[in-house]
A and B are shown apart, each in its own frame.
Chain A
C-alpha cells in the first residue's frame, strides 16, 4: 500500500507501508491494504505508520483530509511534524515542535494532553 503525506510546505512522507493509523474526526482508525474507499477529515493528532520491515514512524498533524483507496492512501494536511531523529537531541526537538503544532491547532486541552502523552510514549520506543 502506498502512502503519501503532503503539506503546503512540501512532502512529509512517501513510500510503501503495511499499516497506518489516523486520527479521524469520528475517532482513530487503521488502514490496511485493500481497504474500502473512504474519505474523511482528520483532527489534530498523530499518524502512526507501520512499515513493511516492522519499524514504526509517527507524525504529528493538525487538520486535514485523508483519501483511502484499496491501493493507496493520500493525506493532505495543513501542518505536520515527524517525530523522529538520529540523536536524542533531534528527537527532543521534534517532540517539542510536534507539541507546539498540536497546541496551535486545537483548543481542547484534553485532546492536546492525550496526544502529547501518545507522542511521549511513542518517542520512548524510538
Chain B
C-alpha cells in the first residue's frame, strides 16, 4: 500500500491534469464553434459547385460526342495516382488522426495490389510523423495548413496535381480526410476528385454556352474551381472534426481524472484511518502493558 504522502502527491498531480484537460476542452469548444460556422457557410457553395459541375458535364456529354478535357475522360488504365491525406498538426484528439491514417494505409495496400503507383501528399504533422516512422515514402509534406486552412495555399497545392493530371502524369486524385458530421461523430471520407464521372442518364439535349460556345475554357476554369474548393472544404471539414474529436477526448479525460481523484481520495482516507487506528492500538497496548 502506498504511503499517505505518496497518495497525496498522486491526487494533486491528477487534479492538475484534470485542470489542463478541462481547459483544453473549453478551448476546443470555442474553436469548434468557429470551425462549425466556417463549414456551414461554405457547405452551400461546395454542394452547389458539385451540382453545377455534374449537370453541365452531363449536358455537354449528351450534346457533344466527347468532352476533350482529361478531367472528364474515362481512364481505364490507371497507373499512378495522387493521394492527398489530411490530418491534424496536433494530437490529443482521441482516434481522430489514426482513423485517417489507417484508412490511408488500407487504400495504399489496395492500390499496391492493383500495381498502381502512388504519390502521397500529406497535410498535417501527425500523419507525416507516422509515415516517417513506418517508412512509407511521401511525395510532399505540408505542415500548418490543416490547423489554419487557407484557400490560396490549398489552390496552389491542388493546382500542381491538376497540371500533372492534365499532362498524363497521374490518372486520379484522391483526397482522404476525417470529416465532421456532428459534435459527437466524425467520419473518414475518401473522395476521388478527378476524373469527374459523367452521368448521362437524365439530361437535356440542348445547352448554350457563352461566350461563343467556348465550352472548354469555361469548363476548365470550373473544374479548377471545383477541385480547389473541394480541397479547401476538406480542410475546413477536417479542422471542425479535429476540434470536435479533441473536445470529446478531453471531456472523457476530465471525467476519468475526476473518477481517479475520487478513488484516490477513498484510498487516502482509508490509509489515514488505518494509521490513526494503528496509533491508538499502540497507545492502548502500552497502557495495558504498564498496568501489569
Contact = CB atoms under 8 A, between A and B. Distances in A.
Given A6-B45, A9-B42, A10-B44, A67 B209 contact: no
Given A41-B218, A67-B56, A6 B44 contact: yes
Contacts of B232: 8
Interface in A22-78: 24-26, 36-41, 65, 67, 69, 74, 76
A79 B44 CA distance: 14
A76 B206 CA distance: 21
Q: 6 closest Cβ contacts across the A-B interface?
A: A40-B210, A10-B41, A11-B44, A37-B207, A6-B45, A6-B48
B208 interface: yes
Interface in B224-239: 225, 229, 232
A38 B207 contact: yes
A9 B209 contact: no
Contacts of A26: 210-211
Given A10-B45, A26-B211, 4 more contacts: A6-B44, A9-B42, A37-B207, A65-B218
Nearest to A37: B207
Interface of B: 40-42, 44-45, 48-49, 51-52, 55-56, 59, 151, 204, 206-211, 215, 218, 221-222, 225, 229, 232
A19 interface: no
Which secondary structure dominates chain A's binding surface? strand
B56 to A, nearest CB: 6
Which size bracket describes the interface of A in this complex? 20 to 34
B45 A39 contact: no
Nearest to A12: B44
B229 A74 contact: no
Nearest to A39: B209
A38 B52 contact: no
Contacts of B215: 39
Contacts of B44: 6, 10-11
Given A25-B210, A39-B208, A40-B209, A8 B52 contact: no
A40 B49 CA distance: 14
A37 B59 contact: yes
Nearest to A25: B211
